[in-house]
Amino acid sequence: MYPKLLHGLDEGKRFLSLRGSPDPDGPSEQDRARSLELFGEPLSLEESVRRILEDVRRDGAPAALRYSRILDGLDSPDLEVPQEERDRAAASVDRSLIDALKFSARRVKEYHRATLPKSWVDHERGLGERVVPMDTVGVYAPGGSASYPSTVIMTVVPARVAGVENVILCTPSATPAVMAAAAIAGVDRVFRIGGVQAIGAMAYGAGAVPKVNMVCGPGNAFVTLAKKMVYGEVAIDGLYGPTETVLVADGAANPVHCAADLLAQAEHDPLASPILITDSPAMADDVRREVERQLPGLERRDVAVNSLANGGRVILVDNLSQAMELANFAAPEHLCLMVEDPWRWAEEARNAGGLFLGTHSPEVVGDYVAGPSHVMPTGGTARFSSALGVRQFLKTMPVVGLKAHGFEEMARAASIIARREGFTAHARAMEIRLENGREASADE
C-alpha cells in the first residue's frame, strides 16, 4: 500500500534526512550516452554542463543553436521567436485558458504589489535607502514533453511588479499557451532555447539574446547545475530540485482531500516527495487506502506510483507538536496544514517555502491562482531562502547625506577606528574635515 507508513519522530527524521539536495546525484546511462555523442567521451553531469556553458560563452549564438538542435530537436535558424509568430500563437488559444491565465496574472500582480518594499529617507538624520529594480531579467520556463504557461505568469509578473524594465523568456516549448502567458505577463522578447544553453545564453549574452542581470525559474538537474555555475556572473533566484509537499493532518481532516493533495504532488515527478504527517492512526490508514482508490484514475499513474514509492511516506507521530517539529525539520517547499484551527498551528511553522492553511487552500491553488509565486525553495533550502517574489528583482542602495550637525562626533569615532586598523588616509579624510571646520569657525 502506498505511501509506506513510518512510526515516530526519530523514524520520520531519518527518512527526511535522506532527501537529496538541489544537486543531482549523478549521470544516468542515457546521460552518459548523450555526452558521448556530444563530446566523444562519457562526461559527468557537471562536466557536460560546464562544457556547454564554456562553448556558449566562447561562441555565442552558434553554440546555443547547435546544442538546441542536438538536445531539443529545435531546427529554427534563429533563437528569437518573432513577434508576429508570438501573436498568432497566442490568438489560437481557447478563450477559457486566456481567461484563466488573466485571472491568475491579476491575483499574482495584486499579491506582489502588496509586498513591494519602498524607498525611504530621513532628511534630519541624513540617512535613507533607495530600492531599485534590476534592468534586465531572464526567465526560464521548462519544456520538452510539456509546457508550463503557469511558470511564465509566476516568474514574469513579480518581475514586472518590481519594476524590471526588460524581461526576456527562454523556453524550448514556445507553445501557443506559453506565448499567451508571455503576452499576458508582459514578456518583451521570447527565445526558443532550452536547457543549459539557455542559461548560458542569458548569463553571457548570445547573439540576439541579451546578457541579463538575473536568471530565474525552475528546471531539471542540468538547468539547476548551470544556474549554480553562472552565479556570480549573474544573480539567480535559487537552485530548485524535485517538488515536495508535507501535509500535516489531524483526525478531523478529510482523508479524500488529503489523498488527492498527495497525488497531485506525486504526479509531478518520480522524484517528488508527497508526505503526510498525522497524529491519528485512523487518518494514516484512511489516507493510504484513499490513495490506492484514487490512483487508477490518473493519467500519470506510473509517475505517481514511483513518487509514492520513492519519496512518499505517511508518518505517524504522537501529537501535532511533534508533527510541526518534523515539518520544520523537513523545511519543505509546501507545508499544508489540514488541522482544526490551522491559523493557530501556523504560528509554529518556521521553515517552509509556502504555507497552505485548511481544506480550501490546497497546494494546487498555489500552483496556479492563489497569488504568491509557485517558484519556491526545495530540498530543505526553505531553512534559509524564500519563495520567488519582488525582492529578488530589487537592489537596495543605502543613502548617506549627513549634515554638519553631529558630524564632528562621527568623524572623531571614525578616525579612531581607522587609525587602529592602520588606515591613515581614512583617518586623515575625517581629520581634515574637522580641521577645516575649526578654521571656518575661527574665520567667522
The residues carrying an active-site annotation are 333-334
Contacts within 8 Å (CB) and 24+ apart, 354-363? 354/387, 359/253, 359/254, 359/257, 361/336, 362/257, 362/260, 362/261, 362/264, 362/336, 363/245, 363/261, 363/264, 363/265, 363/334, 363/336
Q: Which amino acid is at 254?
A: N
CA geometry: angle at 388 spanning 108 and 209, to 5°? 95
Residue 267: Cβ-neighbour burial (10 angstroms; 0-12, 13-18, 19+): buried
DSSP for 253-300, written as a single string = S-HHHHHHHHHHHHTT-TT-EEEEEES-HHHHHHHHHHHHHHGGG-TT
* 307 contact partners, CB below 8 Å, separation of at least 6: 265, 266, 267, 268, 269, 270, 271, 272, 273, 274
* 148 contact partners, CB below 8 Å, separation of at least 6: 141, 142, 173, 178
* 175 contact partners, CB below 8 Å, separation of at least 6: 89, 143, 147, 149
CA distance linking residue 56 with residue 317, whole number of Å = 51
* 135 contact partners, CB below 8 Å, separation of at least 6: 164, 165, 166, 213
Cell for 53?
Answer: 556553458
* Residue carrying C-alpha cell 501529537: 319
179-204 per-residue burial string, b: 16 or more CB within 10 A, e: under 16: bbbbbbbebebbbbbbbbbbbbbbbb
Beta bridge partners of 277: 248, 315
Cell for 12?
Answer: 520520520
3-state secondary structure of 183: helix
- Going by C-alpha positions, the residue among 286, 272, 278, 273 that lies closest to residue 248 is 278
CA distance linking residue 246 with residue 306, whole number of Å = 17
